[in-house]
Structure 1
Amino acid sequence: MSTGKAQQGKDANIYEQVFDAILEQRLIPGTRLSEDKLGQLFGVSRTIVRTVLQRLAFEGVVEIQRHQGAIIARTTAEQARQVFAARKAVELEVVRNACRHISAVQLEHLHALVWEEQEARGQQDHGRALRLSGELHLYLAEYCGNEFLAGFLRSLVSRCSLIIAQYEAADRHSCPPTEHGAILEAIGAGDEALAVKLMAAHIDHIEAKIDVREKTAPPDLSAIFSKTNKEN
C-alpha cells in the first residue's frame, strides 16, 4: 500500500470513529477536539487529524475557531428548527426515490438493521441503538438512487444527533420502535404516499424530543475513543 493510500485509510478510520461517536451522542456540542490529543489517541500525525477535522467542519458538525482549534458545533434554537426542516425535505424525497429504485437485497439489509436496532434497545444499549438508527437512514438514502440526496442527508443526520445531544428533554419519549419497520414495509409495497406520510411523522417525532436547553459538561476524549482503538 502506498503512503498516500495508507494516509487515506487512516483518515477514513478516524473520521468514521468520530462520526459514530456523534451518532451515539458520546460527543456533545462544545467538546474541544485537540489535534494533539486525538493524534496521541489514534497514533497518527496532527496533519492526518487536521484533515479529518476539516472534513467534519465542511459537513457542519465541527467548528474550527481561530486560536481555539476545533470544537463540536453548537446549534441555536432557530438553527435546530432549520436543520429539522431541511432533514424532513430531504428524507421525504429519499423515500419517494426509494419506492421506485430500492432492490429486494437492499430492503432486506435495512430490515436487518431494524432488527439490530431493536435488539440494542432491548439490551439497553442506547448508544448502539442511536448509531444503528442513524445508519438506517443513511443506507436508505444510499439506496434511493440519488447520491446527492445521500450526501446531504449524511450531514443532516449527524447535525440532528448533535442537536438532540444539546437539547434533548429527558421527560420526552423516544420514537416508537415500530416506526422504522413500518416505513420499510410501505417502501417495499411501493406505497409512496404512505411511506412519505410515515417518514414525515417519524421526523416530527424525532424533533419532538428536544427543547431549548444546553448541556455544558464536555466528555473526556480518552474515554470515548480508547476502547474503540483497542478493539481495532
Structure 2
Amino acid sequence: MNSFASASHAQSTALPVSRLGTPTEDLYPRLFEAILEQRIDEDSRFTEHSLQAMFGAGRADVRRVLTQLSHEQIVVLRANHRPRVAAHDRELIRQTLHARRLAENTLVRLACQRPQPDDLKYLRTLVEREKRAVEQDRRGAAIRLSGEFHLRLARMAGNLPLAHFLRSLVPLTSLAIARSQCSTRSCCAWQEHLALVEVVERGDVSKAGMLMNRHLDHLEQTLLGTTFQHCVVS
C-alpha cells in the first residue's frame, strides 16, 4: 500500500481502538504491526494526519509513537519531510544479530539465576499469544510478540543497562524478519521460546545458553542465509 492520504481509505482500514492501556501504549503495537505486515512500508506516503485517521488516535499520541519508532530505527523522521519506514542494508542486520548474540548469551544466563514465578508466568503467556498469532497467520503480531518475549526475558536478568541495549536491537531485527521471505510458521519459533522458559525455570545456565545460541542460529539463517562463528559467553 503506497498511499495513506485518502481519509476514506484510512477509515476503511482502521483497526478497532483497544480499551487496554494508555493511548500511546495501545497505539504502538498496532502501528508497529501494520509496519511488520507491510501495510505501511518504505514506499508508503503517510503523514501524522493519515495515521490519526487510520488508527483513530490523537495527534500527540501519533507523534509520541513515531518518535519511539524513530529511536528504534523503524521510522525515519526528518524536518520538513514526511515520516518514512526505514530501509536497512544486510551489513547492519549482520551487526545487529552479532550484538544480540553477545547480549542475549549473558542475559539468559543471568535470568537463570533469579527466575521468579510471575515472570515465568508472563513469559508463558507471551508464548501462548505468539502461538495463537502463528496459527491464525497474523504475521505482524507473531513477529512483534516474538520480540517482546526476548525483551521480557532480558528484564528478568536484572541488568537494566544490558536489557536497555537489547531494546535497541530487537525492533530492528523484527523489521528484518518481516521483510524476509519466511512464512509465519517457519520464522516465528514459539516452540523454541517455550523450551527457553523451561530451562530458565530449572536454572539450567548451560542448557539455556545452548538453546539461545541455537535459536539465534536459526534467526541468522533466516535473515542472512548463513550462521556466524559466534562467541559463547560462559
TM value normalised by structure 2: 0.73
Structure 1 unaligned residues grouped into runs of 5+: 1-7, 213-232
Give the structure 2 partner of residue 39 of structure 1: 52
Q: Displacement of 1:108 after TM fit?
A: 2.4
Q: Does 2:151 correspond to 1:138?
A: yes
CA gap 1:80/1:32 in 2 versus in 1, 3 angstroms = farther
State the distance in 1 between where 2:57 and 2:139 align: 30
1:195, distance to aligned residue in structure 2 (A): 0.5
Alpha-carbon distance between aligned partners in 2 of 1:152 and 1:66, rounded to the nearest angstrom: 27
Aligned residues of 1:22 and 1:161 also touching (Cα < 8 A)? no
What is the CA distance between 1:160 and its match in structure 2? 0.6
Q: Which residue of 2 aligns with 1:58?
A: 71
**Judging changes above 3 Å, is the alpha-carbon distance between structure 1 residues 99 and 29 closer, same or farther for their aligned structure 2 residues?**
farther
Query: What's the offset of the Cα at 1:175?
Result: 5.7
- How do 1:179-190 and structure 2 match up within 5 A? 179-190=192-203
One of 101, 122, 141 as aligned partner of 1:109: 122
Cα offset, 1:63, TM superposition: 0.8
**What is the letter of the counterpart of residue 214 of structure 2?**
A
Task: Report Cα offsets for 1:113-144 as digits up to 9, x if no partner.
Answer: 22333333334443333233222112212222
Q: Which amino acid aligns with 2:212?
A: M
Deviations 1:3-48 (A, max 9, x none): xxxxx94334323432344455654445444112113334555444
Query: Secondary structure at the residue paired with 1:181?
Result: helix
Q: How does 1:118-129 map to 2 (within 5 A)?
A: 118-129=131-142
Distance 2:127 2:174 in 1: 18
Alignment partner of 1:202 out of 215, 224, 227: 215
Q: CA RMSD of the aligned region, Å?
A: 2.9
Counterpart amino acid of residue 166 in structure 1: R
CA deviations on 1:148-169 (whole Å, 9 max, x unpaired) are: 3332223312111111223435
- Letter of the 2:154 counterpart: A
Q: Hey, what's the Cα distance between the residues in 2 that align with 1:23 and 1:91?
A: 23
Matches of residues 9-28 of structure 1 in structure 2 within 5 Å? 9-22=22-35, 26-28=39-41
**Rounded Cα–Cα distance in structure 2 between residues aligned with 1:96 and 1:60:** 28
Contact 1:33 1:72 (C-alpha < 8 Å) held by counterparts: no
Cross-structure match for 1:165: 178
Q: Kindly, what percent of the aligned residue pairs are identical?
A: 39
Distance verdict in 2 for CA 1:75–1:119, change over 3 Å? same
- In structure 2, relative to structure 1, the CA distance for the partners of 1:112 and 1:165 (3 Å cut) is closer
Asked if the contact 1:110–1:140 (Cα under 8 Å) also holds between the matched residues in 2, the reply is yes
| Unaligned segments of structure 2, at least 5 residues | 1-20, 226-234
CA contact (8 A) 2:115 2:203 kept: no
**Structure number with higher relative contact order (C-alpha < 8 Å, ≥ 6 residues apart):** 1
User: In 2 relative to 1, CA 163–122 (structure 1 residues): closer, same or farther, beyond 3 Å?
Assistant: closer
The 8 Å contact of residues 19 and 158 in structure 1, kept in 2 or not, is answered as no
Give the SS at the match of 2:222: coil
